[in-house]
Amino acid sequence: MTNQPLHSWNVAPPEAIAIQRELRDKVLLTPLDGDIQTIAGADISFNKYSDVLYAAIVVLSFPALETIDEVGVVATSTFPYVPGLLSFREAPPLLEAWKKLRTRPDLLVCDGQGIAHPRRLGIASHIGLWLDVPTIGCAKSVLVGRFEEPGIERGSWSPMLHRDEPIGAALRTQNKVQPVYVSPGHKSDIESAVNVLLTCDGGYRIPEPTRRAHLKVNQLRLAAS
């Protein structure tokens, strides 16, 4: 599977910000295609102060959620850790993992932000544009945005707003657990992203695609220790 380069990854932070501002207008916010047969989760992990990154993508059948493909990559980043610019540090190893997949998924869920980002270009949006595939961001914490606390029941959600724009949803994936923060990446929208992630229920707070990618990342880290 090949990628169409949009820019160089060998840039300094000021140039990275300019790239984000240029690319944000290319993001498409449209309902997801209903014919999703495969869904993938992507995750990145690293030790504090380390430039070694562990990246994984796990592909599941949908809606059965059976694992059908998984790839892990260990890479060294040359981009510094800068909040708001994490895709310049984390996307390259995920793109390397994507190239190694035997199955191209219909939808990719990233552990991170989509448009719920100061410049509307979190890692899910950035990778979605790069690969030209539908993507969703599913984060465990908020980068930007305000919201009212959703109801305590599974499936409750409330819109996240930033500068009076809807950018995502605070979604309760299980009863009485902390919400996850869902935002469209590319070729998706808030409502269809919420509906898909509720279908990816394995009984945990984190939806199955990114949960299994996280488990794969932990295997990589353990093998490297």
Tally of residues, the chain: 225
d(CA 205, CA 91): 24
d(CA 219, CA 76): 18
Question: What is the pTM (predicted TM-score) of this model?
Answer: 0.95
What pLDDT, in 10s, does the model give residues 103-132? 999 999 999 999 999 999 999 999 999 999
pLDDT the model gives residue 112:
97
For the chain, the average pLDDT equals 95
The domain spans of the chain are 28-224
d(CA 39, CA 130): 17
Q: How is domain 28-224 classified at the CATH fold level?
A: archaeoglobus fulgidus dsm 4304 fold (3.30.2170)
d(CA 56, CA 43): 6
Q: What is the largest CA-CA distance in the chain?
A: 46
3-class SS string, 73-89? EEEECCCCCCCCCHHHH
What pLDDT, in 10s, does the model give residues 53-92? 999 999 999 999 999 999 999 999 989 999 999 999 999 9
